[in-house]
Structure 1
């Protein structure tokens, strides 16, 4: 199973926000700390806000914060939501498989995809923020700029 870069970044942004101790960081600060493009981070944050997982506060003292739903969100549910329910196999060009409704490889791939998501279901955003993952995430907080 291969995730899009967008889907890969979303749980990492959520985990980064879960360990924040110095107040709400801006999207730019998160992007800088995680060494990802600010424009891409902004798109991820916008989608996470739309899903009700992140709160965005504007103005002085503003920034990003996890909502209660964001803190307890299942990583599997987040990945499912971001990856969508499209076909497992994306045929580039050409026509769809003629026996599409009875295609056994497609069904097996769909089951494999669901098994992948199911393996992520028990993890919440808070789960990976403990040891050994939490300390490196906390180290990212130290890269914030002084106001």
Structure 2
């Protein structure tokens, strides 16, 4: 299964915020620079994560981003479910036009595979993804 850039950047931003420490809050620009990705795209991702309640955004001088929840409470599977379109094929939606949909076994197989994928993601928290915090900080040059 391939995740969208939006989901990828969502997970990256959560990781960045999970390892960020310092005198000032993290910023979208700083995170984008450290990952070498688009700040504009990351700003849209941050907005999504604010709406979903994973991060807080503070405006103005001294403002920035911070996690809204402890790292142990952010479930990777939940983030993926909320940021990703999990409709693998047209037949996974309510308006399937496939003529074999009523007898199709492929849909069931793909559904089981997707469920297994999500169950693995459900078994991880942000805290698991940043358990090597020192190494991540070094790689991203985060103080």
Aligned to 1:35: 36
Aligned to 2:49: 48
Distance 1:59 1:71 in 2: 29
Residues 78-135 of structure 1, C-alpha deviation per residue, up to 9 Å, x if partnerless? 101111342x1259xxx8321224321012101111110110112111111112xx22
* CA 1:63–1:141: 2 relative to 1, 3 Å: farther
SS in 1 for 2:16: helix
Aligned to 1:75: 76
RMSD over aligned Cα atoms: 2.0
Aligned to 2:100: 99
Aligned to 1:10: 10
State TM-score, norm by structure 2.
Answer: 0.86
State TM-score, norm by structure 1.
Answer: 0.83
* CA 1:141–1:66: 2 relative to 1, 3 Å: farther
Distance 2:135 2:102 in 1: 46
**Count of equivalent residues:** 137
Q: Which runs of 4+ in 1 moved over 6 A?
A: none
Distance 2:72 2:47 in 1: 17
* CA 1:71–1:60: 2 relative to 1, 3 Å: farther
Deviates more, 1:68-77 or 1:117-126: 68-77
Aligned to 1:138: 137
| 2:20 is equivalent to residue 20 of structure 1 | yes
Does structure 2 retain, via aligned residues, the 8 Å contact 1:20–1:141? no
Question: Structure 1: any 5+ residue segments left out of the alignment?
Answer: none
